[in-house]
Structures are given as structure tokens and as C-alpha cells.
Structure 1
Amino acid sequence: MSFWLYTVPSFFIGIIPQFHNLCDFFAVEATIGVCYGHVGTNLPPPAVAINLIKANNILRIRLFNPHPEVLQPFSGTGIELLIGGPNEIIPILANSLVTTSIKWLQSNIFPYVSPNQVKYFVVGNEIFLKDPFYSLYIVPSISKLYQALQTIGLATNIKVSSSHASTILSNSYPLSSGTFDSNVKQFLVPLLQFLSDTGSPLMVNVYPFFAYINNPKYVSLDHALLNKSAYIEHDKNLAYDNMFDASIDAFVYAMEKEGSNGIPVMVTETGWPTSGIDGASISNAFTYNENIVRRALNNVGTAKRPGIGLDILLFDMFDENGKSGEEFEKHFGIFGDNGIKAYNIRFN
């Protein structure tokens, strides 16, 4: 989970339809999914969670680790999966032959769930700044995993990438000045090349909530919640009235500065807590997530990439009482541990 840091008044983004050179992109229908974390002591069994997922028409789930007892119940459900792996496996895959990656897939993933349900492997979550020891191994491990998928004939159906915190941007205001942190460029630029070569997305975790609670003087609640307001900021002849889209376009500008113009952006985490701090409430969580879902399913895109579908995963399926950090970190759940929705969000 990433913090979006502001040292100047926030930028805000919205959509005024404008058309640019989209030759590197194609319109796709966006998919909304939900992250399914397991850092808790009172979580319902996976079978109960899967029933909730199916009953609420949630099409895609992100699992942070491929625990067999969680992975296997998804088999045959038709639910699409993004699957992560433990950090300790990253150097092993990076420093071994491709056969090691094949064995890992055949031992830890495909005995429990069919390959046709797996859409992405997410190698590392917020590694570059949170667990920098593993940074050196990200691209080599991703490359080995991709080669393994090629070898077993699955590389066209399963994409491989890595998920990153918003703070890999050293500058994001104005958003057209979006620039990657110089400390991570040596690892990030090769990653961008891999993503470009394989048609995989840059995966980012985006939380306007953090910008709001860290800078309430400059960041209005409406802009953070994607509510319409009278304030519109202009940058590069584009109009912005909410913070979520601004975060996405800042990444697009940052990639362009590195010569990577056609890489899609995928939001692997975003959400709003229901309690634990001022600004966290059931009402605000509903408003934020509902606005995110509606924009995604309507393929609104962003001001810089209008009409380009944006795949998004909401965080989180359940409250996780084992999360460390501030109290609000434990309260991002869309569902209670009793299976009842915290608020009446719709996923279609």
C-alpha cells in the first residue's frame, strides 16, 4: 500500500473529452477486480469468500501469495486471477535456469488452478522503495518467469509484471512533470523495456486517500473522492478535476520521458478505509469505490488517454486485523468477516 506524497498544492484531474495521438493504444473494456488479502485472524474461509465474489459479479481477484488452501478453491470458478509470490522466491528465480521457474509454476500454481484462470503474475509488491534488497532481481526473475511461460505455451495468455507504489515518482506536480525517482531508474528502465516488449502493463498502487489525509489544507475531499466540483486545473491543455486520474497520467508522462509511450497502466490497488482516522468512513469509502467502478466500467480513461480502458483492483476484500501500521490500515474491507457488505457497491 503506497503513500502519495505532496510538497506543493495537489493537482486534480477530470475528463474533458480531448483526442490525441493514440496510435500506440487500442480501446479495451476495463475490468474491475478486488484484492483478497489474508493478514487477519478472523477472515471467512476461502469457500465463503468465493461465494461472495460470485454473488457480487466480481470477475477478477488478486492474491498476494499462492497459498494452496486459498488458491485451490478458485479452481473451476471462472474467476480470473492475478497471482503474486513471496519475496524470497524472487532471487531464486532470477539466479536459476528457466527450468526452476517452470518447476515453480508446476509445483505452486498449476496443480491448484487451471492456467486459463490466471491472467497475470505479479512479481513483487512495492519492492523498489519498500524492500529494495530485491530490486536487482525483479527484471531477471520476471524474464525467467516469462521464458518459462513461453516454454510451456502460456506466454500469450498470461502476462508478467510487478506492482509499484506511487512514490516511485519523484515529481508529480504539475503532472506533466511526472518523473521517476532517480534511485529506482536503474531497475525501472529495464522493466519498462520488458513491459514494452511483452505487451504487459505497468502496475501501480494509487491511493488518493493518503494525499487527502496528509495534505488536507490543499487536497479537498471531493477531489480525492472523484466527486465533481467547480475546481478544474489545466495542464498541457488537458482538464483535471480528480486526483485518481492525475496519478495515472503522471505515470504516463514519466514513462514518456523514458521513451516508453505505449505501455498500459494497470491499477493493482486502490481504495478507501471505512474507519480509523478522520476522513475514513463508510460513506467516503462507498463514494470513492463506487466512483472508481463507474468510471472504469464506462471506459472513461484519463484526460491523456481518453476512452482507453483501465483495469483496476479495489483494496480490499475484507478488513485485515493483522495489518501493521496505523489503525485505518486494518479497515479497507468491502465486506465484513460475516460476509455482509460494508456498503452497497455494485461491480457491474
Structure 2
Amino acid sequence: MRTYDPDNAILDALRGSGIELNVAITNQYIECLANDANSANDWVRNHVINYPDVNLKYISVGNKVSPADSATSRFTRFVLPAMRNVYKAICRAGRAGQVKVTTTVSMSTLGNSFPPSDGAFHDDVAPYLRPILSFIVSTGAPFMANVYPYFSYIYNKDQIDIGYALLEQGHGIHVNGEYYDNLFCAMVDAVYAAVERLVERSLKTTGGMYNHTSEKKAGRKGRPRGPKIVVTETGHPSGSGDSANMYNAKTYNDNLIDIVDDGTPRHPEPIETYIFALFNENEKPGAETERNFGLFYPNGQPKYDLNFN
């Protein structure tokens, strides 16, 4: 389960449940945590130490912060210092082995995503992410990304088949010796390639060392694996937009559940994935489509049956 702001009512409800929790720290609070270690200590005490019976797995410092995004660029210089302060507080609490500190990006940070093996971050994003990735690698945390085949399809309908975007069988493509039967896996591998490329360049610059895994798991021979990718958001709208309807939403999420255990062509291991969202956000500003990603209506009524087994 992922929550975008630590809510005490949610934390209380999760006590003793065993449900793994991914908590985000809002962009607006990052500067405070970056500039004041005591604030980071207080945050960890209030949301981690005081909830020993909540299975907190990840703390994501910020959401979709990017120097290429005018709405979030002002937060970029605070993300890594905030991550470090929160991590130090987690270490002092004796929870570094259980709770990993990371951050989340969107696919818009990639300057190239096709073919997947050539995935790379934008030139103006790479300098921001390079030290963050070094920190993530050093602490054993994953790197997090929001992956939406729906939006890739909408903006590239002349190039992408709807069945490929809905993860349906029989719409796959061959790319550089790999077979991708769905767009989700292609996008995840593009993120992996971008991350691995940046990690590799960092090691060449610093002369650092990194343990390689097997060639099968590392993907391209001789390339460092880098951190695991966790997909923190993916889903499909059920209304109020191009190709947004109940059938497509259910089809996408059903197929997603079926494929994530198999991994991708370059990384054939389960993909830890969070479906967005649990509820429709009927008061969310912006496009009407954005309010229709939920599995449930705001009143708690399910939109359609979804089997997670």
C-alpha cells in the first residue's frame, strides 16, 4: 500500500495488519527536512518509531521532483539532503535494515525510452539524479518510478497499438533481439537502462566498484545492475478521456496482475508494483481523466471485479 502523506488515522488502522506500507513525504515538506536534521528526527519519531507494529517498507522523499518540471524544479536541491537526514534518523532508530529511503520520478524524466535498451534520462535531469542514485545504491534502497502505458499510448496513438498498451497477448513487438509483449515491460526496462547507464557513468567518473550480478539478471553484459526498480504508480482511467472506459481499465489492471510476476525481458524477476489508485479522486484538480483512476468510487463501491490472486 502507498500513501502520499503520512496520516495518523491510516497508520493506526494498519497496526498489526502486516500490510507493507510505502509512505511519501510531500514535496512541500522536503526543504524543512533538508535544512533541519531535528525535523527529520521528529518526522521519523512520529511516523516510524511510534508505529513499531506497522510494516513500513519505504519512505519516498518527494514525488516526481524534476529540474525539467516547472512545478517541482524548485525542490530539486532539497531532495538528496532530505533523504540523507531521514536515512540518518532511520539508522538512529535502528530500522535501516527494514525501512529504505528513496524518491520517485515520472517517465517524463527520460529523454529516450525506445528502444528500451537505449533508455536514458534527459541531459538536464541526469546531473540531479546521479548523486541520488549513488546514495540509493550505497544504502540498498530501490529506485521508484511512475509508469503509465495509458499516457504513452494517448500521446503516440499513431505508433502504439491499443492492445499493446492494455498488455494484451498477441500485440507484442521484437526490439533489438528482445520480445516485448506489452508496453508496461518495455517502459520498465527503459527505466532500468536509464538508471544503469547513469550508475555506470558515475562509477567511471569516481573509479568506484560495484558488484555485478549474473549476465542474465544484469541484462546487457558488463553493465552494472544498479538498484531495483519499484513501480510506484500505474493504472488506467475508467472514464472521461480518450480510450478511458471501464472495459479498458479492468483489462489493463487484470493483465498487469498477470504479468508482473514474470518480470521483463532484461530483468526477469517480479516487478514490485502499486496500482493507482484505490479510490477515484473526485476533488482532484486538472483533467477529468485524472479523477477516474480509482478501483473504487469515493463512497467505497467497487467499479469492477479485480482478482489479485
Q: Which TM bucket (shorter chain)?
A: 0.7 to 0.9
Q: Distance in 2 between matches of 1:211 and 1:65?
A: 27
User: How many Å apart are 1:192 and its aligned residue?
Assistant: 0.8
Quote the residue 2:266 is aligned against.
304
Q: C-alpha offsets along residues 120-151 of structure 1, whole Å, 9 cap, x if unaligned? A: 00110001134011111111111111111111
Q: What SS does the corresponding residue of 1:217 show, helix, strand or coil?
A: coil
- Counterpart of 1:196, as a letter, is V
Quote the residue 1:62 is aligned against.
2
Structure 2: unaligned runs, 5 residues or longer: 201-223
CA contact (8 A) 2:153 2:160 kept: yes
Structure 1: unaligned runs, 5 residues or longer: 1-60
Q: C-alpha offsets along residues 133-189 of structure 1, whole Å, 9 cap, x if unaligned? A: 111111111111111111110000001111110011011122222111111222100
1:160 to 75, 96, 101: 101
Q: Distance in 2 between matches of 1:231 and 1:145?
A: 42
Quote the residue 1:120 is aligned against.
58
Quote the residue 2:294 is aligned against.
333
- Counterpart of 2:72, as a letter, is D
Q: Taking structure 2 as the reference length, what is the TM-score of the superposition? A: 0.87
User: How many Å apart are 1:115 and its aligned residue?
Assistant: 5.7
User: How many Å apart are 1:295 and its aligned residue?
Assistant: 1.5
Q: What SS does the corresponding residue of 1:204 show, helix, strand or coil?
A: strand
| Pair 1:107 & 2:46 matched | yes
Q: Distance in 1 between matches of 2:250 and 2:134?
A: 37
Q: What SS does the corresponding residue of 2:2 show, helix, strand or coil?
A: strand
| Pair 1:220 & 2:161 matched | yes
User: How many Å apart are 1:337 and its aligned residue?
Assistant: 2.6
- Give 1:212-251 correspondences, 5 Å limit: 212-235=153-176, 237-251=177-191
CA contact (8 A) 1:212 1:224 kept: yes
Q: Distance in 2 between matches of 1:116 and 1:316?
A: 21
CA contact (8 A) 1:65 1:85 kept: yes
User: How many Å apart are 1:66 and its aligned residue?
Assistant: 0.9
Q: Distance in 2 between matches of 1:291 and 1:230?
A: 13
CA contact (8 A) 1:145 1:160 kept: yes
Q: C-alpha offsets along residues 98-117 of structure 1, whole Å, 9 cap, x if unaligned? A: x4312221134543x33651
Q: Distance in 1 between matches of 2:58 and 2:185?
A: 23
CA contact (8 A) 1:76 1:114 kept: no
Q: Quick one: structure 1 residues 231 and 106, their matched pair in 2 at CA, closer, same or farther if it must change by over 3 Å?
A: closer
Quote the residue 2:274 is aligned against.
313
CA contact (8 A) 1:116 1:157 kept: no
Q: Distance in 1 between matches of 2:181 and 2:143?
A: 24
Quote the residue 2:13 is aligned against.
73
Q: Distance in 2 between matches of 1:231 and 1:109?
A: 43
Q: Distance in 2 between matches of 1:100 and 1:336?
A: 36
Alignment coverage as a number of residue pairs: 282
Q: Quick one: structure 1 residues 217 and 147, their matched pair in 2 at CA, closer, same or farther if it must change by over 3 Å?
A: same
Q: Distance in 2 between matches of 1:134 and 1:219?
A: 34
Q: Distance in 2 between matches of 1:331 and 1:231?
A: 27
Once the two structures are aligned, what percentage of the paired residues are identical? 34
Higher relative contact order (CA 8 A, sep 6+): 1
Q: Taking structure 1 as the reference length, what is the TM-score of the superposition? A: 0.77
